[in-house]
Amino acid sequence: MRFKPLPMMHDPITRRDFVAQASLTAGAAGLSTFLPRSSIAAEVSPLPPGRAEHCIFVWLGGGACHIDTWDPKRVGDPQARKPGSAYPAMDTAIPGIQVCEYLPRCADVLDRFVLLRTVHHEVIDEHAAATNCMHTGRPTSGTIVYPSIGSIVAHQRGAAQENAPAYVLIGYPNVTRGPGFLGPEAGYIYLTDTESGPAGLSHPPEVSEQRQSRREHLLAAVREQYLARNPGGQGIRNYDSTLSEALRLSGPDFLRVFNLQEEPADLRESYGGEFGQRCLLSRRLLEAGVRFIEVSHNLNFVNGTGWDTHNQGQLNQHLLIKELDAALATLVLDLERRQMLDKTLVVVASEFGRPAGFDGGGGRGHHSKSFTVALAGGGLKTGQAIGTTDELGMAIADRPISVPDLHATIHHALGIDPSEELYAGDRPVPITDGGTPVHEAFA
């Protein structure tokens, strides 16, 4: 770190010079106190600019067990209540890095990934609060509704093409995924299956285009009269914004994206079942110009418990892992073949991990002190695992990564300044809650 030299003794020392020099000295002292000497230069050196144009955020609802997937440890025994991973580990395309044996296809392409193995937060017993934390990067507040990461990306970057939404949710709508104080223009359109497009983007077949146009004209006149009488009608303005977006996207051009039958049969089969088809649809949505897509896995808990593997839920966890493996590996290779992987950041996240110990029913509880988020593509420095957990994955051994740090990493990869301030009314709110991008993922 270079410091501005102090004025020579014969020069007058101004108050500004003194304060500037003191601030630099104090900052350097703080860095040297909390960081290893070798890491100081790395932490303050500028990051290369983010290269990603899109993000696919794969959500494993329920709390996916990190030591049964991306961070395997010694094998335990649920019946004997011996702590450890449920499955043996296997080698991957990254020398020295292993994953669970039920991720063989991802193992073969893991050199396209970065595993963040030391993500952590303080929400343990409440799924909804932990899900909100992972989506907004902040604890739940009683005074402000924070925007989700998808809505922030939509707000900052907008859609990549004119006739596309910025943000699509393939899952159930809720506040956690929503725009918060950013308002409906940063919201999402959503669908819950791949059999049909989003509701509300096409009018009934018996309504002709001419009839639809007359309806829109009449509705516009009614809204205009209402707003003239109620100039503060924010609810109507929000409705207008949502309706305008729906009308903009209606019609055959955007809705054609949802026709997966246009894809080769062998590719559709490689992606797998309904979750895989959602991932395939996500790739098509990217090509249509969508900026951010969240894809929920096992949306209706078809295995009974989803990733929330208490008690008997552990017995069928391997089926979820195999389904994730097929869809995720195919998605990565499909993007790569189309020269889209470097421009697409794929994120695989969950609300927390699971502990190494087993409960009385052979399942696992919740664990938020250390768990893994997997990243792929996005112009990152792939082929590495960042951070290390202890011998059972219960504690962080080195390189902790906070949820704000995770969000800052995603934002930087997408060309968004994570320290920029947004405004909730007159209140400034930084995009991340003090998060710093994971430097090693870019350098």
Encode pLDDT of 64-113 as tens digits.
Answer: 999 999 999 999 999 899 999 999 999 999 999 999 999 999 999 999 99
The pLDDT score that the predictor gives to residue 129 is 96
- State the pTM of this model: 0.83
Assess if residue 316 is contained within a domain. yes
Q: Using 50, 70 and 90 to split pLDDT, how confident is the model at 153?
A: very high
Asked if 377 and 341 touch (Cβ cutoff 8 Å), the reply is yes
Q: Using 50, 70 and 90 to split pLDDT, how confident is the model at 198?
A: confident
Same domain assignment for residues 213 and 297: no
The two tokens of residue 32 are 């040297």
Assess if residue 37 is contained within a domain. no
Q: Give the whole-angstrom CA distance, residue 21 versus residue 3.
A: 7
**Beta carbons within 8 Å of 427's beta carbon, 6+ residues apart:** 144
Same domain assignment for residues 279 and 322: yes
Res. 405: pLDDT tops 90:
yes
Same domain assignment for residues 225 and 170: no
Q: Using 50, 70 and 90 to split pLDDT, how confident is the model at 39?
A: very low
Q: What is the DSSP letter of 6?
A: P
Q: Which of 212, 228, 249 is the last residue of a domain?
A: 249
Select the more confidently predicted residue: 342 or 10: 342
Q: What is the DSSP letter of 68?
A: G
Assess if residue 38 is contained within a domain. no
CATH number at residue 323: 3.40.720.10
Q: Determine the length of the chain.
A: 443
Q: Which of 191, 219, 249 is the last residue of a domain?
A: 249
Same domain assignment for residues 97 and 212: no
Assess if residue 342 is contained within a domain. yes
The pLDDT score that the predictor gives to residue 14 is 45
Same domain assignment for residues 145 and 239: no
Q: What is the mean pLDDT of residues 243-270?
A: 80
Res. 335: pLDDT tops 60:
yes
Same domain assignment for residues 65 and 211: no
The pLDDT score that the predictor gives to residue 250 is 54
Number of domain units in the chain: 2
Same domain assignment for residues 139 and 211: no
Asked if 198 and 165 touch (Cβ cutoff 8 Å), the reply is no
The pLDDT score that the predictor gives to residue 280 is 98
Res. 356: pLDDT tops 50:
yes
Asked if 432 and 135 touch (Cβ cutoff 8 Å), the reply is no
Res. 233: pLDDT tops 90:
no
Strands 292-296 and 167-170: parallel
Q: Using 50, 70 and 90 to split pLDDT, how confident is the model at 3?
A: very low
Cα pseudo-dihedral 357, 362, 363, 366, rounded to 10: -30
The pLDDT score that the predictor gives to residue 33 is 37
Q: Using 50, 70 and 90 to split pLDDT, how confident is the model at 224?
A: confident
Assess if residue 16 is contained within a domain. no
Asked if 385 and 415 touch (Cβ cutoff 8 Å), the reply is no
Tens-place pLDDT, residues 357-395: 999 889 999 999 999 999 999 999 999 999 999 999 999
Assess if residue 141 is contained within a domain. yes
Tens-place pLDDT, residues 304-330: 678 999 887 898 899 999 999 999 999
The pLDDT score that the predictor gives to residue 436 is 97
Q: Give the whole-angstrom CA distance, residue 370 versus residue 397.
A: 10
What residues make up the domain containing 378?
A: 49-201+258-441
- What percent of the chain stands above pLDDT 70? 79
Same domain assignment for residues 345 and 197: yes
Same domain assignment for residues 59 and 125: yes
Same domain assignment for residues 177 and 236: no
Asked if 376 and 326 touch (Cβ cutoff 8 Å), the reply is no
Assess if residue 119 is contained within a domain. yes
The pLDDT score that the predictor gives to residue 17 is 46
Assess if residue 14 is contained within a domain. no
**Beta carbons within 8 Å of 443's beta carbon, 6+ residues apart:** 42, 45, 47, 48, 381
The pLDDT score that the predictor gives to residue 74 is 98
The runs of H, that is alpha helices, within 99-208 are 104-108, 127-136, 149-157
Same domain assignment for residues 158 and 218: no
Same domain assignment for residues 183 and 316: yes
Q: ∠ CA 413-324-374 to the nearest 5 degrees? A: 30
Q: Using 50, 70 and 90 to split pLDDT, how confident is the model at 343?
A: very high
- Determine which helix (DSSP H) or strand (DSSP E) holds 136, and give its type and residue range: helix 127-136
